[in-house]
Amino acid sequence: MLAHLAMAASSGFAMVATNLDNLAVMVALLLTSNRPRVLGGYLAAQATVLVIALLIAEGADETMPGWTGYLGFIPLILGCMGVWRQWRGLGEGDMPVSAGATLLASTVLFLSLSTDSLAVLAPLMADTLPALRITALIGAGVAVLGLGLLGLTLARGAAFSGGWIAKLEKLGPYAMIAVGLYVLANSATDTI
Model confidence at 40, pLDDT cuts 50, 70, 90, reads very high
59: Cα separation from own chain's centroid: 20
Q: Is the pLDDT of residue 34 over 50?
A: yes
How many CA atoms within 13 Å lie on the side-chain side of 100?
0
How many CA atoms within 13 Å lie on the side-chain side of 83?
13
pLDDT tens digits, 110-134: 888 888 888 889 888 888 888 899 9
Out of 57-66, 95-104, 154-163, the most confident range is 57-66
Please tell me what DSSP assigns to residue 82: H
Q: How far apart are CA 164 and CA 180, in angstroms?
A: 26
How many CA atoms within 13 Å lie on the side-chain side of 109?
26
Q: How far apart are CA 150 and CA 176, in angstroms?
A: 22
